[in-house]
Amino acid sequence: DAKTTQPNSMESNEEEPVHLPCNHSTISGTDYIHWYRQLPSQGPEYVIHGLTSNVNNRMASLAIAEDRKSSTLILHRATLRDAAVYYCIPRRSNYQLIWGAGTKLIIKP
């Protein structure tokens, strides 16, 4: 199974962009890259996923390296409500999700 490496924590100022990195050098060619986040005292929630191309949705953008060994989740304008633990998860199928410890994102007002 693909393993991931994420910073333990990151800080950002409110209303500034945030770039959350993830290394997944052992990812296979068919593993999608998923990002979830977990707000305090809540269950995880889906953020975005992609395979090879960069992806955008209303919450974030996902930039995937050409060799697929790393990806970056981009929050274009962070708010206090974006303070959460962000998980980068290479995924082939639901039951093969391997969750790491994630990155704790701290937003400073």
Partner 1 sequence: DADVTQTPRNRITKTGKRIMLECSQTKGHDRMYWYRQDPGLGLRLIYYSFDVKDINKGEISDGYSVSRQAQAKFSLSLESAIPNQTALYFCATSEPGDTGELFFGEGSRLTVL
Part in contact with partner 1 (CB under 8 A); list of ranges 19-27, 59-67, 74-82, 92-100? 92-100
> Is 21 near partner 1 (CB under 8 A)?
no
What is the Cα–Cα distance from 53 to 60, expressed in whole angstroms? 14
CA 93 to chain centre: 17
Task: Give me the least distance between CB of 45 and partner 1, in Å please.
Answer: 7
Q: Output Rg (C-alpha) for the chain, integer angstroms.
A: 13
Task: Give me the least distance between CB of 49 and partner 1, in Å please.
Answer: 6
Site for partner 1 in 42-61 (CB under 8 A): 42-46, 49
Contact 107, 20 (CB under 8 A): no
> Is 32 near partner 1 (CB under 8 A)?
yes
Query: Within 10 Å of residue 22's Cβ, how many Cβ atoms?
Result: 25
Q: Which residues of the chain form contacts with partner 1 (CB under 8 A)?
A: 32, 34, 36, 41-46, 49, 87, 91-95, 97-102
